[in-house]
Structure 1
Amino acid sequence: MLLTGNYKKFYSLECEQIVLACLILYNYSWNDIYNFLIIEDFYFKNHKIIFSIILELLNSNIDFDMNHVYNKLKYYKNFDFLNYLNFLIQKLPNPSNISFYACIIHNMFILRNIIFTINGFLLNISSKEDLNLSLLLNEIELNIFNINKNHINKKNELITIENVINNYMNNNIIENDVLSTGFRDLDLIFNGGINRGDLIIIAGRPSIGKTSFSLNLIQNISNFYNIPSIIFSMEMSANQLFIKILSSIIDKDKNVIVNDLLKKNLNIDNILFNKICSMKIFIDESPNINILKIYSKCKSIIREQGEVGLILIDYLQLMSSFSINHSQNRVFEISEISRSLKCLAKELNIPIIAISQLNRNLELRNNKRPLISDLRESGSIEQDADVIIFIYKEENHNSIENKEKIEIIVGKHRNGPVGKIFLNFYNSKSRFTDF
């Protein structure tokens, strides 16, 4: 039942020898592989030892040439390293090819990890009569996630000032990295829109319109840029979200729409109907979502659609931690989740909107205008978030002339100013408009 365990096809003696020879003969070739090759990538024990000596000399700012490497290795009595080093440097490798061979070494390491992980699960499955399938699937996801994190990111990690300046001069930053919210005054605060790679927290008191506002952002961005968006909803069903989206788009009361749908009497203009059907909005209504599943499903949509433009999570406190240690407190888990969401937003270059609850202590205050410290189980949410938006309605705004007026407070903005704007909120239609 187990996969092959001898790894015959999953290492390359020659590649490991060539990389070590390159490093010893041409120390500068280290610059081509420093960002991904590690000791564990090597399959052969003696090669691990040689590479560890190279790293030790490198960290001590000493040339890792033949003499210095051997002076460190001569204390190993179980192997003739002197003759082996002479054998390696006789290969006379081309240093310009080192990254090619290093990639092969690293990829072989990933393949060995995959086989080792699969074998472990096969042993586990075959040795137990009663299996917790949900727990098993979570463990598989966690292991694959960790393997994937270790895979080479071939993008150059270093960006020159010249490249940054050229991006600004050519307007590439504005065109590629900013997405208009669809709300005039909010875009002014955000210098044109929200940034790709940002983690955006939207918070407010219960039934204030957090989900409706977030859905309006999804609709505006999805329509304007024609890019796919994903909603992870742990509170509302896909049907409930659809009614909110439909009500906002056709500007009609939600209850009327539900009755019309039940009676099969909903009349929508053909152009508007086609527009709604063409929206690239994907909904996941799984009740127990975690960062691993979000990552996996985003990757799946990217493979199918080519990209993902925006992610909405409703809401943050309902997410599950993927940590194996379930004894930790909830504040720690939420902090772990918020950090993971920020890392995911940056890695995929996608803005992530996460709806958050507020602490109940807010209800005990006379002044119920929310503060950053009111974020429920905040932990590091305020630190990880690039933008924090509060939705707030003054009680005296319930008068006839102000009943739709609502405040959007930007309490944190990592890349610009904070401030507040006013929008109209038509609750029965889940619709926000410029004030």
Structure 2
Amino acid sequence: MTDKTATDTLLDELVRRTPPANLEAEMALLGALLTNNKAYEHVSDFLAAEHFANAVHGKIYGAIARRIDRGMLADPITMRADFEHSGMLEPVGGTAYLGKLLASMVGIVNAGEYGRAIHDAWIRRQLIDIGENVVNNAYGATTELAGSEQIEAAEETLFKLATDKGQDGGFVAFDRALATALEVAEHAFLRTGDVSGLTSGLRDFDKKTGGLHPSDLLIIAGRPAMGKTALATKIAFSAARALMQEAADSNTQPRGSVAIFSLEMSSEQLATRILSEQAEISSERIRRGDIGQKEFDRFVRVTRELQELPLFIDETPAISLSAMRTRCRRLARTKGLSLVVVDYLQLMRPAVGTRPESRVLEISLITQGLKAIAKELSVPVIALSQLSRQVESREDKRPMLSDLRESGSIEQDADAVMFVYREEYYLKQRMPKETTYEGAEKYQAALDDWHRKMDLVHNKAELILEKQRHGPTGTIPLYFEGEFTRFADLDTHHEV
């Protein structure tokens, strides 16, 4: 017989380990509950029957909780019949076990601490189970998941444990809620202009919305070529620049950053767009290298100015909701996070391990998840969305809420829904053709009328704010410069 190796010895030690549990705390808490039901108030908001390591203790706790929740007294006398009828105490010696629990009781003041000790042991057991599943899956127990997907699944499970552990919920006292509301109002009052949230860089949009507010999910939707990505990039850049300027004024580091999840365009393409707008050089000319020395020098200067921006781009295609959530939490922890932009939500995947029955349900899970990210991290989340083709079949092609793909879930979960619309794009396609007119005069009249209409809509766009949970709706006129894919404020009145 050969000596055991170090690995065998370690495995034996792991097998002999018992999962974390605090049976003394469980008995002491149950004794306190049976003696004084007021102890339940100290643990009811975070402790459940399944958190007990001893299954019988969990059943006893559940029975006590049910009686107290119904407004009934729960003590050894009132519960004896229930215990005898159900037989739940037979594994521990019957109703005589209640005497042991009463002998182990603690004062009501310590009930909360004992409850938290029980709950902490449960969290540790869950972590052990998650670790074992990760190891088993890595060895091939779940062959349908690739390695990267197993990471996402593990992250999702850990996230659920972190958020569902039952310690972060409960009521917020009204005085505390009032204090928070007062802080927000004071912040808005002290700031110049009408912006209480993070600026979008668009004056009229900020006036109508007050800026971008924490915990809000905003949807920007439109048909292809309307400029959704350009508008979202403009907002993201403006927010990042505002954060950098704020830090420079106070001689500190930026208090947050902007995260862009670009599922369609690469980070290089997105950076080129921003550079094109700021350097006022066509992105097409940049790609071709069709620029002079002065323009190239301006391009380099702008690049140096922008490289300090607290702006981060994730170009992972078809990213899952769980992976996005993990990366946002990591960025929030390391750099701070002030805004998240997703381009666009129909290219995302729901959390790993979920298998929605339909595309509508899948989009619903994604929008609910984005709203959850906004709430958890207290940041605004802007998600771009495609519109259905039914827009093209109408004479008036201005979008409506019903044009949203899988519109029910998106409209329901969003705090604001806005549409990007450019009449110039559609009018350009309706340029009169000489062959469709009988004579030159009719053709020229139609062409003149078309030019007149084009002049009216040239470089103009509309941001149609169709839904806003916290404010008014309406149409916001914008300036759009196609050469630089740039949105800006539209000034209809000028000083002479």
Relative to the length of structure 2, the TM-score reads 0.79
Secondary structure at the residue paired with 1:194? coil
Whether contact under 8 Å (1:260, 1:266) holds in the other structure is no
Partner of 1:184: 203
| Counterparts of 1:168 and 1:62, CA distance in 2 | 39
- 5 Å matches for 1:128-139? 132-134=145-147, 135-139=149-153
Partner of 1:205: 223
| Counterparts of 1:398 and 1:104, CA distance in 2 | 73
In the TM superposition, residue 128 of structure 1 has moved relative to its aligned partner by: 5.8
In the TM superposition, residue 6 of structure 1 has moved relative to its aligned partner by: 5.9
C-alpha distance 269-14 of structure 1, shift in aligned 2 (>3 A): same
C-alpha distance 207-51 of structure 1, shift in aligned 2 (>3 A): same
Task: Choose 17-26 or 423-432, whichever is displaced more.
Answer: 17-26
State whether structure 2 residue 434 is matched by structure 1 residue 405.
no
The CA RMSD over aligned residues, in Å, is 2.9
| Counterparts of 1:64 and 1:97, CA distance in 2 | 19
In the TM superposition, residue 93 of structure 1 has moved relative to its aligned partner by: 1.8
| Counterparts of 2:412 and 2:186, CA distance in 1 | 24
In structure 1, which of residues 249, 260, 278 is the aligned counterpart of residue 308 of structure 2? Answer: 278
Whether contact under 8 Å (1:70, 1:81) holds in the other structure is no
Whether contact under 8 Å (2:322, 2:350) holds in the other structure is no
State whether structure 2 residue 332 is matched by structure 1 residue 302.
yes
Q: Given residue 205 of structure 2, which amino acid in structure 1 is its aligned partner?
A: L
| Counterparts of 2:170 and 2:383, CA distance in 1 | 28
| Counterparts of 2:186 and 2:15, CA distance in 1 | 49
In the TM superposition, residue 278 of structure 1 has moved relative to its aligned partner by: 1.4
Secondary structure at the residue paired with 1:115? helix
Fraction of identical pairs, as percent = 30
| Counterparts of 1:145 and 1:300, CA distance in 2 | 12
In structure 2, which of residues 164, 172, 179 is the aligned counterpart of residue 150 of structure 1? Answer: 164
| Counterparts of 2:323 and 2:463, CA distance in 1 | 31
Whether contact under 8 Å (2:137, 2:150) holds in the other structure is no
Partner of 2:271: 242
In structure 2, which of residues 383, 396, 416 is the aligned counterpart of residue 354 of structure 1? Answer: 383
State whether structure 2 residue 27 is matched by structure 1 residue 13.
no
Partner of 2:213: 195
In the TM superposition, residue 48 of structure 1 has moved relative to its aligned partner by: 0.6
Per-residue Cα deviation, 1:282-324 (whole angstroms, up to 9, x for no partner): 111111211100111111112211x211111111111112264
State whether structure 2 residue 488 is matched by structure 1 residue 433.
yes
Task: Choose 265-274 or 32-41, whichever is displaced more.
Answer: 265-274
- CA radius of gyration, larger in: 2
| Counterparts of 1:168 and 1:49, CA distance in 2 | 43
Relative to the length of structure 1, the TM-score reads 0.89
Which residues of structure 2 form unaligned runs of 5+?
1-6, 189-194, 244-253, 428-451, 491-496
C-alpha distance 326-22 of structure 1, shift in aligned 2 (>3 A): same
Secondary structure at the residue paired with 2:363? helix
- 5 Å matches for 1:381-420? 381-395=410-424, 399-400=454-455, 402-420=457-475
| Counterparts of 2:464 and 2:196, CA distance in 1 | 23
Whether contact under 8 Å (2:279, 2:299) holds in the other structure is no
In the TM superposition, residue 173 of structure 1 has moved relative to its aligned partner by: 7.3
| Counterparts of 2:387 and 2:206, CA distance in 1 | 25
Deviating runs (4+, > 6 A) in structure 1?
A: 261-265
Whether contact under 8 Å (2:285, 2:291) holds in the other structure is no
C-alpha distance 30-7 of structure 1, shift in aligned 2 (>3 A): farther
In the TM superposition, residue 248 of structure 1 has moved relative to its aligned partner by: 2.5
In structure 1, which of residues 44, 63, 68 is the aligned counterpart of residue 78 of structure 2? Answer: 68
Secondary structure at the residue paired with 2:341? strand
| Counterparts of 1:18 and 1:391, CA distance in 2 | 62
Task: Choose 269-278 or 18-27, whichever is displaced more.
Answer: 269-278
Whether contact under 8 Å (1:177, 1:196) holds in the other structure is no
Partner of 1:4: 14
**How many corresponding residue pairs?**
432
Per-residue Cα deviation, 1:203-246 (whole angstroms, up to 9, x for no partner): 01111110111111111222213421111111000000111122
Per-residue Cα deviation, 1:352-394 (whole angstroms, up to 9, x for no partner): 1110000011111111000000011224111111100101122
In the TM superposition, residue 422 of structure 1 has moved relative to its aligned partner by: 0.7
Whether contact under 8 Å (2:27, 2:105) holds in the other structure is no
- 5 Å matches for 1:85-164? 85-126=98-139, 132-134=145-147, 135-154=149-168, 157-164=170-177
Secondary structure at the residue paired with 2:407? coil
- 5 Å matches for 1:265-344? 266-268=296-298, 273-305=303-335, 307-322=336-351, 324=353, 326=355, 328-344=357-373
C-alpha distance 20-222 of structure 1, shift in aligned 2 (>3 A): farther
In the TM superposition, residue 81 of structure 1 has moved relative to its aligned partner by: 4.9
| Counterparts of 1:241 and 1:398, CA distance in 2 | 32
| Counterparts of 2:54 and 2:384, CA distance in 1 | 49
Whether contact under 8 Å (1:22, 1:93) holds in the other structure is yes
Which residues of structure 1 form unaligned runs of 5+?
none
In structure 2, which of residues 223, 241, 245 is the aligned counterpart of residue 223 of structure 1? Answer: 241
Larger relative contact order (CA 8 Å, sep ≥ 6): 1
| Counterparts of 1:287 and 1:95, CA distance in 2 | 54
| Counterparts of 1:332 and 1:150, CA distance in 2 | 22
C-alpha distance 336-168 of structure 1, shift in aligned 2 (>3 A): closer
In structure 2, which of residues 38, 41, 44 is the aligned counterpart of residue 31 of structure 1? Answer: 41
